[in-house]
Amino acid sequence: MKSSVLASACALFLLLREPACLGDEVTSKTVNPCCHFPCQHWGVCVRYGLDKYECDCTRTGYHGENCTIPEFWSRVRQFLKPSPDVIHYILTHFQWMWEIINRTFLRDVLMRLVLTARASLIPSPPTFNSKYGYLSWESYYNVSYYTRILPPVPEDCPTPLGVKGKAVLPDPELLVERLLLRRKFRRDPQGSNLMFAFFAQHFTHQFFKTYNRMGLGFTKALAHGVDAGHIYGDNLARQLNLRLHKDGKLKYQLIDGEVYPPTVADAPVRMSYPSGVPPESQLAIGQEVYGLLPGLGLYATLWLREHNRVCDILKAEHPTWDDEQLFQTTRLIIIGETIHIVIEEYVQHLSGYLLQLKFDPTLLFNSPFQYGNRIALEFSQLYHWHPLMPDSFLIDGDELSYSQFIFNTSVLTHYGVEKLVAAFSRQVAGQIGGGHNINGVVTKVSVGAVKESRQLRMQPFNQYRKRFNLKPYTSFKEFTGNEEIARELEELYGDIDALEFYPGLLLEKLRPGTIFGESMVEMGAPFSLKGLLGSPICSPEYWKPSTFGGQVGFDIVNSATLKKLVCLNSRTCPYVAFRIPLEEPTHTRSDNNYGRNKEL
């Protein structure tokens, strides 16, 4: 069904004395009807002629001119399905009920429901990508691009975000300074610590590898998922330079009898260090930017030690295996351990759910689940969690500024794994949502995210709310719950439907006692769970003991925890978790009670 906006457009143009309205000639005043985002409920807008459009409502569960009339079963689902806030409340309250559920078969039933419901929100195979706003073979097969959930805003729209808002978007630096720059450190009420913050950064940068030197929207992470490329490198040449080529192990160096990543002098791979840093002082790691922060070097060290530890176990089990089979099988085990820790500890902590999440790929074996994954532009934008970073770093009684911390590999080797783990596990991280909580040292990354979203013409925040089955906000006050921020946004954008995606995620009102707002959870979880369970090792063909070298390797995957990762690879076993210990004081720069950490 086709609809026309020509009459209303001509009325306006006649008032402006535009003679072009007397015919069908395209002019600078012709409005692309898809700029209004008329198609609802995942309907696809297709432009015809100059001023007509059609909404393709195929398999959306809706029909009508704009895909707004629900079919019978859509009406039933609308009536029965509780809102995301109600679901979140149930999952985070009634502890007595969840203690019962977590001990029964209902845990598996609910976990399967969570996985299938979340994953169904991510299109598979992918639809659009960072270059093409329509379905094409290039969008499907060219994995050099990020995919995307919503097509770009058409180029010929009256405003940058369609038809709403101001003709010019606010200056990115001004936007970040007025709304995102930290005024005073605001701690995460969920107790997330720096061990969590660095894990988030270390884990996600194996698949968030924007490669703008190739062009806008390109990624170097060709695997598009959990491939442990941050440990082994994103190409074969890098991997071979990092390998010891004996017993399946990775290269390493010994410092005071402890294993650390080798230097670039011994493992010649390109690392991103400032000019002037000699190869002997650069650590050789799978991800080239991981020399930036000692927290990333810490996790790189732990996974290096874990890889070599697992190699020894497999060699004892399989003395006939050569170096290649030991390496390849160990890599599969490391990937499995990573996914296990991410789901059962990392995502569990983020969600705040009382339902105990479970890593069990067999839950999906009888479900219509598609294996494989593509990293979306929206997921990359969403994961800019720089408010987690503190104002300084407190390690073993010392306070390190950013200038002392960044690109300083000696922090890792001087304090050692145990002291860094103990310190990072006790120092609280910042709250991500709510605005005004990004340290000035890292605000340039947020400025870059805003600029990227504009270059790629991402749709407004409310359009993404609708795409993920969330109710769009009707005002800035409803959106943020903060009158000061609402006034600033009104001045900068003029219309709630013109609010950009990334600022929307960081400025949305917070769920009580949580690290960020509703949208970050409801949009981020589908990307995360689809990417984790979409790994080939989670498929029926791979998920069996023989894939991991037998039951011994399978048991390593199925019993993996953050504590084991640390304690099996260090001399002592410090306190380690993704949240600060409840019985100890919170460490921030202004905490006068901060002293030397006690080893546990």
CA dihedral 537, 540, 543, 547 (to 10 degrees): -80
Tokens of 124: 């598979």
Residue with tokens 């689809």: 530
User: What is the residue type of 238?
Assistant: R
* DSSP β-ladder status, 147-148 and 253-255: unpaired
Residue with tokens 């650069």: 282
What is the full DSSP assignment across 92-141? Answer: HS-HHHHHHHTTSTHHHHHHHHHHHHHHTTS-SS--EESS-SS--HHHHH
Reply yes or no on whether 383 is catalytic: yes
105 within 8 A of 515, measured Cβ to Cβ: no
Residue from 448, 452, 453 nearest 463 by CA: 453
| Helix axes 551-558 and 323-341, enclosed angle (nearest 10) | 30
Tokens of 90: 């149930």
Three-state secondary structure of 333-387: HHHHHHHHHHHHHHHHHHHCCCCCCCCCHHHHCCCCCCCCCCCEHHHHHHCCCHH
The residues with which 250 forms a beta bridge, in sequence order, are 243
Reply yes or no on whether 62 is catalytic: no
Residue from 126, 131, 152 nearest 141 by CA: 126
Distance (Å, whole) CA 305 – CA 570: 9
Residue from 451, 435, 372, 464 nearest 150 by CA: 464
User: What is the residue type of 200?
Assistant: A
Distance spanning both ends of the chain, measured CA to CA: 68
Residue with tokens 């001087």: 414
Residue with tokens 């991500």: 432
DSSP-derived letter for residue 595 is: -
Residue from 344, 350, 366 nearest 116 by CA: 366
Instruction: Report the residue count for the chain.
Output: 600
Asked whether the bond before 125 is cis by omega within 30 degrees of 0, the reply is: yes
37 within 8 A of 28, measured Cβ to Cβ: no
Compute φ and ψ for 183, nearest 5 degrees: -95, -50
Any residues with CB less than 8 A from the CB of 145 and at least 6 apart, and which? 129, 130, 131, 139, 217, 218, 219
Q: Between vectors from CA 103 to CA 101 and to CA 106, what angle results, nearest 5°? A: 45
Which is the catalytic residue, given 132, 252, 383, 502? 383
CA dihedral 129, 532, 422, 515 (to 10 degrees): 60
Which is the catalytic residue, given 202, 205, 307, 386? 205
Distance (Å, whole) CA 97 – CA 5: 54
Q: Which residues are catalytic?
A: 205, 383
